[in-house]
Chains A and B, each alone.
Chain A
Amino acid sequence: EAGVAQSPRYKIIEKRQSVAFWCNPISGHATLYWYQQILGQGPKLLIQFQNNGVVDDSQLPKDRFSAERLKGVDSTLKIQPAKLEDSAVYLCASSKGHQETQYFGPGTRLLVL
């Protein structure tokens, strides 16, 4: 079974630029999550989708971050404009559904200069 795919794996941008990350969850997984992991910290949930609807986006900085999950499969996370403090690893995870195990992708490491 293929795992969660993410791209790109690495991205370097300058502050005030925009960036987008892509995630393809495990086939058949209804729930998709985006996490931000800052160096030295644990992952922090940014947004959770159930199919193509948002379940929780309480910790998403909506003035600069946006995410969508069209057709309930792939998802993109966008930052516009980026700030220095957005430098982190962005992890995508998916699960079959309610209270099922979350499987993580390898992450996208973002560096904002």
Chain B
Amino acid sequence: DQQVKQNSPSLSVQEGRISILNCDYTNSMFDYFLWYKKYPAEGPTFLISISSIKDKNEDGRFTVFLNKSAKHLSLHIVPSQPGDSAVYFCAASKGGSEKLVFGKGTKLTVNP
């Protein structure tokens, strides 16, 4: 049973526009959420996180929004750049555990 779902395998946007990547989760015990970015032949790199006590966290061009009632989070990248082209993984953990549960990833392509 997939507890963290990224239903869009891929997303293509134009440079300078907004990229919105979505993630849904089923386990209401999750209280910490993260986004990782992965380039080919490299390991995932931490991007941004949010605790369940917040509904928004911002870091430069990257903003994560959390809607606890809908069990949904999204990552906004504004403006998108060609170097943002990568696979983005949503991950979640619960109750102080360090165990991360990952989604399947969304491949973002930013076209010049």
Interface of B is mostly: loop
Cα A101 to Cα B32 in complex, Å, equals 12
| Residue A98 at the chain B interface, CB threshold 8 Å | yes
Contact B43 A31 (CB under 8 A): no
A106–B41 Cα gap in the complex (Å)? 6
Contact with B along A63-102 (1 / 0, CB 8 A): 0000000000000000000000000000101010011011
- A106 → chain B closest CB, angstroms: 5
Quick check: B98 and A107 within 8 Å, CB to CB? Answer: no
Bound CA span A104–B38, Å:
10
- Per-residue A-contact encoding for B49-70, CB less than 8 Å = 1, 0 else: 1000000000000000000000
- B44/A43 in contact, CB under 8 A: yes
Q: If A102-B46, A104-B44 touch, does A42 touch B104 (CB 8 Å cutoff)?
A: yes
Question: Residue on A with the closest CB to B93?
Answer: A99
In the complex, whether B100 has a CB less than 8 A from a CB of chain A is yes
B contact residues around A55 at 8 Å (CB): 98
Q: How many angstroms between the C-alpha atoms of A41 and B103 in the bound complex? A: 7
Contact B4 A42, beta carbon cutoff 8 Å: yes
Q: Is the CB of B44 within 8 A of A91?
A: yes
The answer to whether A104 touches B4, judged by C-beta atoms less than 8 angstroms apart, is no
**Complex: how many Å from CA A106 to CA B44?**
8
Residue of B nearest to A95 (CB): B98
Q: Are B46 and A103 in contact (CB under 8 A)?
A: yes
Report the separation of the CA atoms of residues A101 and B45 in the bound assembly, to the nearest whole angstrom.
10
With A40-B104, A41-B104, A42-B91 already in contact, the answer to whether A91 and B98 are too (CB < 8 A) is no
Bound-complex Cα distance A95 to B49 (A): 15
- A-contacting residues of B (Cβ < 8 Å)? 4, 32, 36, 41-46, 49, 89, 91, 96, 98-100, 102-105
